[in-house]
Structure 1
Amino acid sequence: MNDLEQAKAKAAMTYNAAADYFDHPVSSFWHCFGRQTVERIDLRPGERVLDVCSGSGGSALPAAEQVGPDGQVVAADLAECLIALAVAKAENKGLENIEFRVADMLDLGYPDASFDAVVCVFGIFFVPDMTAAVRELWRMVKPGGRLAITTWGPDLFEPANSAFWDAIADVRPDLQRGFNPWERISEPSGLREMLAEAGIYNADIAAESGTHPLTSPEDWWAIAMGSGYRGTLAQLDAEALTLVRKKNLAQLDESQVDAIATNVIYAVARKEAVSQI
């Protein structure tokens, strides 16, 4: 299995496992940042949108509402359990203009210039070659269309993140992560550089600092269970999982942590329209 196949399998395993906590109320930031991404691309009624790494619909559902019944949204994600959550929510909202696909964003099969907007919220860093992934997404944007990439800024989920990995190191040091894939693009300069490598030089990039409140350490554990940390937790036996949870939450309790960092970077690029001569 090559690096790309391994990354795809890991992402699908992680987020299928995390689906039971993914929409927990304490993790409302997924949908908040999804809506804010959609607001930044000024969708109009009748437009066609592709949303990749769509999760449980945090950006796809508001996009479908924006483009209206004459528009269309295609939402794709590798995790079938997250797609199932999104399908249920779309049905509950009565949205009939959205198509869901359990699929790889690099192998969707759409022709060039198929969409007025392509959106990827917290997903571009799951592939080993982010530049190639952006190039593929850009290919599917129509002239005059938009590409939106949203990623994490620095210090994601701190100080709870460091407490989590400290607890993992005590129990299973072989699982401790030394580098997060989004760190390369966690500053505007890094994101701009990566986009330029993909041939995109005109992106509007905005960094926003933020925090997410915790009413108790248990809130953090629900977030961990419903996010990428679940891939690590799924590799622990019951005893090790109990120890990690106890150590992680004890450290947060001792430090009286009542909020975590949720810094975000938004990038929106508009493809030059074809001149009418």
Structure 2
Amino acid sequence: MNDLEEAKARAAKAYNAAADYFDHPVSSFWHGFGKQTVERLDLLPGERVLDVCSGSGGSALPAAERVGPKGKVVAADLAENLIALARAKANARGLENIEFRVDDMLALGYPDASFDAVVCVFGIFFVPDMATAARELWRMVRPGGRLAITTWGPNLFEPANSVFWDLIRQERPDLHRGFNPWDRISEPSGLRDMLADAGIHTENIVAEPGTHPLNAPDDWWAIAMGSGYRGTLEQLDAETFARVREGSLSRLRQERVGAIETNVIYAVATKGTRTIRG
């Protein structure tokens, strides 16, 4: 299995497992950031939108509402359990203009210029070669259309993130990660350079600082269980899992942590239109 296939399998496994907590009320930021991404696109009724790494619909559902019944949204994700959540929510809202696909964003097979907008929220960094992935998404944007990529800024989920990984290092050093995949583009300059490597140039890159409240340490554990951390937790035996959980909650109580950092970077690029010379 090559690096790309391994990364895809790891992400699908982690987020299929995380689906049972993914829409937990304490993790409302997933949908908040998805909605804000869509708002930055100024979608029009009737437009066609591709949403990759769509999760449980945080950006696909508001996009479907914006483009209306004459528009179309395709929502694709490798995690079939998250797609099932998104489909159920779309049905509950009576949205009939969404097509759901359990599929890889690099192999969707759409022709060039198929969509008015392509969206990727918190997903581009799971691909080892992000520039290649961005180039593939850009290919499917029509002239005059937009590509939106949203990623995490620095210090994601701190201080709880460091507490979690300190405990993993103590219990299972083989599972400890020296960096998170989003660290490669956690500053506007890094995201801008990655897009430029893909042939995409934009100055519409906005870093937005933020925090997410924790009403109790247990809120953090629900967030961990409904996110990419689940991929690590699934590899622990029951006793180790319990120690990591209790150690995390104990440290957060001792340090009286009442919020975690949720800094975000939004990038929107508009594809230039062709000029036909006579």
The bucket for the TM-score relative to the shorter chain is over 0.9
Aligned to 1:118: 118
What SS does the corresponding residue of 2:162 show, helix, strand or coil?
Answer: helix
What SS does the corresponding residue of 1:220 show, helix, strand or coil?
Answer: helix
Identity of aligned residues (%): 77
Pairing of 1:217-228 with structure 2 (within 5 A): 217-228=217-228
Pairing of 1:96-245 with structure 2 (within 5 A): 96-245=96-245
Distance in structure 2 (CA, Å) of the matches to 1:78 and 1:184: 22
Superposition deviation, residue 38 in structure 1? 0.1
Distance in structure 1 (CA, Å) of the matches to 2:242 and 2:143: 53
Aligned to 1:41: 41
Q: Deviations over 1:80-126 (max 9, x none)?
A: 00000000000000000000000000000000000000000000001
What SS does the corresponding residue of 1:166 show, helix, strand or coil?
Answer: helix
Superposition deviation, residue 274 in structure 1? 2.5
CA RMSD of aligned residues (A): 0.7
Aligned amino acid, residue 170 of structure 2: D
With normalisation by structure 1, the TM-score equals 0.99
Q: Which runs of 5+ in 2 are unaligned?
A: none
What SS does the corresponding residue of 1:151 show, helix, strand or coil?
Answer: strand
Distance in structure 1 (CA, Å) of the matches to 2:223 and 2:104: 25
What SS does the corresponding residue of 1:101 show, helix, strand or coil?
Answer: strand
Aligned to 1:17: 17
Distance in structure 1 (CA, Å) of the matches to 2:97 and 2:161: 38
Superposition deviation, residue 276 in structure 1? 5.7
Runs of 4+ residues over 4 Å off in structure 1: none
Distance in structure 1 (CA, Å) of the matches to 2:18 and 2:51: 20
Superposition deviation, residue 174 in structure 1? 1.0
Aligned amino acid, residue 236 of structure 1: L
What SS does the corresponding residue of 1:240 show, helix, strand or coil?
Answer: helix
What SS does the corresponding residue of 2:91 show, helix, strand or coil?
Answer: helix
Distance in structure 1 (CA, Å) of the matches to 2:183 and 2:202: 22
Superposition deviation, residue 275 in structure 1? 3.0
What SS does the corresponding residue of 1:106 show, helix, strand or coil?
Answer: helix
Aligned amino acid, residue 239 of structure 1: E
Q: Which runs of 5+ in 1 are unaligned?
A: none
Aligned amino acid, residue 48 of structure 1: R
Aligned to 2:67: 67
Aligned to 1:258: 258
With normalisation by structure 2, the TM-score equals 0.99
What SS does the corresponding residue of 2:101 show, helix, strand or coil?
Answer: strand
1:203–1:270 CA contact under 8 A, matched in 2: no
2:192–2:202 CA contact under 8 A, matched in 1: no
Aligned amino acid, residue 123 of structure 1: G
